Chains A and B, each alone.
Chain A
Amino acid sequence: MVEIPDIPTPSDTGADGQQIQGSNDIPTELMEPSQLSRFPMVNAIEGLAAANNRVFGSEATSKMLVATTSHFAGELSRSQDDTTRLRQQIDILRDEKADISSRNAVLNERIASFRSNRHFSNFGIFAGTTLIGACIEFFQNDMATYGIPVMILGTILLFLSWFIAPRRGDQ
Chain B
Amino acid sequence: MGMLRKAALGMLVAILLAVVVGWNMSRFISSTAKIREKDIDFLPPPVVAELLCLGHRNTLAKLRWIDSFAYFEYQLDRKDDNVVGGGKAGGFERLYDTLITLDPHFQSFYEHAALNTGGLLGHQGVALSFQMRGISEMPTSSQMWRNAAAILRTEYHWQEQLPEAFGQFLSTWRRFIPEDSDQISIWLINVGRHFSSISQRMSYWLEQLHMTKAGSPAGDFVEGQLRDEYAKMGCETLQILVNAYRIAHGAPAPRLKDLWLDYDLIDPFSPFGATIGDALPVRLDDVLEPRLLRKRLTRELQANGPIIAVDGRLRLRTDPFGLPWRLVADRVVSTGLERRHYQAALGKANVALLNLARSRGSWPASLAEARSLGLAIPEPPEGGSLSLAGEALEVTWQTQPGQPWSLR
Please determine whether chains A and B interact with each other in the same assembly. no
Chain B: residues with CB nearer than 8 A to chain A? none
